[in-house]
């Protein structure tokens, strides 16, 4: 089998690939039903030795299911999305067409992001040119092999090219940008700024998912005791473990509403048990020396910085819980390092959000209180408010933006004989 990720070394290679892909998108329509059928088979195949250990694959399986994608298509493209159009008011008709060729610049630290990004553009009927970061190539190939098996006719293979080149090759980045009609850009501040500055055509539509962070919150009735506390701790542990806390949706801090009758150390002991359980189920296979240093520094700085601080962690850098108080968000250490901060009122912590918080994971006992927290968080720039255990579930909108509609053109048609 030839390598599904093509190494490119010249602008001409990219231009030729882009020309072929654009002609396919222009001349060969593909129905949403066909794409969903292939995705459904792909999802069923994404399991087995090697794949189950890839971070994010369980969520990818869920995302590719028809039951996940059909409601998103209906919401974003209208109730008649299977026919490629939907009726508007009066005699007007809206027709949905792909942009053409969509370029993808995924972040280099999320194993499944290349695939997730591509799936959004494909659902709009587009062709895709995907740059796979070098560090993700090994994790991406097994996913593409499963797609190839689920699509024996090559219907999607005709519409997608997976390419790899050194991130320092500015000429190749520029060539890729010049050939696309739209782009989905993910990653850190420096990477996003670099890609946005590339010479895209003036008509190209760009959707940017830049660097942000996420937090969790529990009210007093949830954490101070009761039969559900251990379940919430396990949910939080699962959110912390995914993607080594490098995803924008990873919780970096847990705010606890102070409870006069609650023992925070007792809660940390419960959370420790959940972390130990998650670590046994999903042990870290390796860790970069720089991450080990960052974790050790975070532990030492926390304990030396304030005599009221406490911490819980094993002798290895597998995970870390840092206990203290305050409404500010400490600088994330990542690597399964969670700050647990007591606050008098959860609204006090939310009032400090500055637009950089993407997801708020909640465990709140009272629906009225949760509604107030959700409204306050929404006003302060939070785009996703979910229950703990679901902070990474990929869905639309993401970062407050639809995932499929930005990559289609909605054409208004008023019939001449109306």
Mean pLDDT of 105-109: 91
pLDDT tens-digit readout, 44-83? 999 877 787 788 888 899 999 999 999 999 889 876 665 5
The structure tokens 């918080």 sit at 357
**189 and 255 housed in the same domain:** no
263 part of a folded domain? yes
- Mean of per-residue pLDDT scores for the chain: 92
Shared domain for 223 and 332, answered yes or no, is: yes
Give the count of domains, the chain. 2
Domain holding 368, by residue range, is 213-387
Who wins on pLDDT, 207 or 82? 207
Residue 125 within a domain: yes
Specify if 392 maps to a domain: no
**Are the CB atoms for 244 and 110 separated by under 8 Å?**
no
| CATH code (residue 197) | 3.40.605.10
Q: How many CA atoms lie within 13 A of 303 on its CB side?
A: 11
Q: What is the pLDDT of residues 225-238, one digit of tens each?
A: 878 999 999 999 99
The pLDDT assigned to 339 comes to 98
34 and 183 belong to one structural domain: yes
pLDDT at 83: 57
Same domain, 205 and 274: no
Model pLDDT for residues 386-398, shown as the tens digit of each residue: 999 999 988 889 9
pLDDT of amino acid 82: 59
What are the tens digits of pLDDT across the range 287-316?
889 999 999 999 999 999 999 999 999 999
pLDDT above 70 (res 407): yes
Query: Which CATH number do you get for residue 305?
Result: 3.40.309.10
Terminal C-alpha separation, the chain:
55
Based on the fold, state whether residues 180 and 290 are members of the same structural domain.
no
Query: 19-22: long-range contacts at Cβ-Cβ below 8 A with a sequence spacing of 24 or more?
Result: 19/179, 20/161, 21/101, 21/127, 21/128, 21/129, 21/159, 21/160, 21/161, 22/100, 22/101, 22/127, 22/179, 22/181
Phi/psi at 114 (nearest 5 deg)?
A: -55, -45
pLDDT score recorded for residue 146:
95
Q: Are residues 193 and 125 both part of a single domain?
A: yes
Per-residue pLDDT tens for 306-353?
999 999 999 999 999 999 999 999 999 999 999 999 999 999 999 999
Are residues 246 and 383 located together in one domain of the fold? yes
Same structural domain, 206 and 220:
no
Kindly state the average pLDDT of the residues 261-282: 94
pTM over 0.95: no
Burial of 145 (0-12, 13-18, 19+ CB in 10 A): middle
């Amino acid at each position: 089998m030839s390598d599904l990720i093509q190494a490119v070394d010249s602008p001409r290679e990219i231009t030729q690939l882009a020309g072929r892909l654009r002609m396919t998108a222009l001349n060969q329509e593909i129905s949403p039903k066909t794409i969903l059928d292939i995705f459904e088979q792909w999802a069923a195949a994404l399991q087995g030795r090697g794949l189950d250990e890839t971070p994010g694959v369980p969520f990818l399986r869920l995302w590719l299911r028809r039951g996940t994608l059909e409601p998103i298509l209906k919401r974003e493209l209208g109730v008649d999305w299977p026919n490629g159009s939907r009726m508007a008011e009066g005699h007007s008709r809206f027709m949905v067409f792909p942009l053409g060729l969509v370029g993808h610049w995924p972040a280099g630290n999320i194993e499944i992001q290349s695939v997730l990004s591509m799936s959004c553009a494909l659902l709009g009927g587009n062709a895709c040119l995907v740059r796979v970061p070098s560090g993700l190539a090994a994790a991406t190939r097994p996913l593409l092999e499963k797609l190839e098996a689920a699509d024996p006719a090559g219907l999607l293979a005709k519409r997608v090219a997976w390419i790899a080149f050194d991130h320092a090759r500015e000429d190749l980045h520029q060539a890729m940008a010049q050939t696309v009609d739209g782009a989905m850009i993910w990653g850190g501040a420096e990477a996003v700024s670099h890609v946005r500055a590339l010479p895209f055509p003036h008509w190209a539509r760009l959707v940017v998912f830049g660097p942000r962070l996420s937090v969790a919150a529990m009210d007093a009735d949830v954490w101070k005791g009761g039969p559900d506390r251990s379940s919430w701790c396990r949910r939080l542990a699962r959110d912390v473990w995914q993607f080594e806390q490098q995803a924008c949706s990873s919780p970096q801090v847990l705010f606890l509403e102070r409870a006069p009758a609650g023992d925070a150390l007792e809660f940390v002991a419960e959370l420790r048990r959940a972390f130990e359980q998650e670590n046994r189920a999903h042990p870290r296979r390796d860790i970069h020396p720089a991450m080990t240093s960052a974790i050790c520094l975070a532990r030492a700085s926390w304990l030396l910085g304030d005599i009221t601080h406490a911490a819980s962690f094993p002798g290895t850098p597998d995970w870390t819980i840092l206990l203290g108080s305050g409404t500010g968000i400490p600088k994330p250490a990542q690597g399964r390092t969670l700050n647990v901060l007591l606050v008098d009122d959860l609204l006090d912590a939310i009032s400090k959000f500055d637009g950089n918080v993407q997801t708020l994971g909640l465990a709140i006992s009272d629906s009225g209180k949760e509604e107030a927290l959700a409204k306050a968080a929404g006003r302060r720039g939070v785009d996703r408010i979910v229950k703990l255990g679901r902070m990474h579930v990929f869905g639309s909108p993401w970062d407050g933006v639809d995932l499929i509609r930005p990559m289609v053109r909605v054409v208004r048609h008023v019939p001449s004989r109306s």
